[in-house]
Amino acid sequence: MKILVPIKRVIDYNVKVRVKPDCSDVDLSNTKMAINPFCEIAVEEAVRLRESGVATEVVVVSIGEKACQEQIRTALALGADRGIHIETSSNLGSLQIAKLLKSVQLEEQADLIILGKQSIDSDNNQTGQMLAALMGMPQGTFASKLELADGKVAVTREVDGGLQTLSLTLPAVVTTDLRLNEPRYASLPNIMKAKRKPLDVKSAVELGAATTSSVKVLKVEEPATRTAGVMVESVEALVDKLKTEAKVI
């Protein structure tokens, strides 16, 4: 059983994001980059499935500039077996990413595709659903638990009313939630081993998928600065401020 795990290179979640002076985009110069946290959860789940004997191979794929290979090597150090880098300098939207992943899946014929439910930069929460639709595969989103047996995957997901369990026939697409697992740290021996694991580089053009995004970023702005809170001496004073100043009651 082969598992395909798409991963994305994003700004490390511990880093404060800066906006370019012309407000055209986020400033990435001298910024620490990392695997998108939800993608890291997907890698961890795939590796656990292989370690338990359910899966035989874990393949990670990333789309972007050459720098993406750093995150692919990190995923290999976490336990993935093989990496694929789809090289492109274009700023792709969710649909273009999904189309490229479809081309990869047609070549790899993975039994299960696990990817993060969303990336922490664009925050779209679209790629997994679009890929499932393009491939005609069943999908389970926001997975907090996975169980595989008899050619099916049971996906437990949180909904407004509690927990919902979906039974999907493989091949299927699953997107991961934060509660699915806690990713491991890469050990030094595994980091060294990752340097020798295979990493195939392909261009987006040779996969035959369109790389022209229909989404255009017009302007990027930092959130408005919040004013400091005010200490009040009594409940009566708090109620008065909520009425007269905040006007919320």
**Nearest of 91, 74, 92 to residue 83 by alpha carbon:** 74
Q: Number of structural domains, the chain?
A: 1
Is 249 part of a structural domain of the chain? no
pLDDT value of residue 105 = 96
pLDDT value of residue 230 = 82
Q: Following DSSP, what letter does each residue of 125-182 receive, concatenated?
A: --HHHHHHHHHT--EEEEEEEEEEETTEEEEEEEETTEEEEEEEESSEEEEE-GGG--
* Per-residue tens of pLDDT for the chain, all 249 residues: 999 999 999 999 998 888 888 988 888 888 899 999 999 999 999 999 999 999 999 999 999 999 999 999 999 999 999 999 999 988 888 999 999 999 999 999 999 999 999 999 988 999 999 999 999 999 999 999 999 988 999 999 988 888 999 999 999 999 999 999 999 999 999 999 999 999 999 988 888 777 777 788 888 888 888 888 888 899 999 999 899 888 888
Is 14 part of a structural domain of the chain? yes
Is 12 part of a structural domain of the chain? yes
**Nearest of 147, 140, 142, 116 to residue 40 by alpha carbon:** 116
Say what the pTM is: 0.86
Q: Which domain holds residue 21?
A: 2-244
What's the CATH code of the domain at 217?
Answer: 3.40.50.620
Is 198 part of a structural domain of the chain? yes
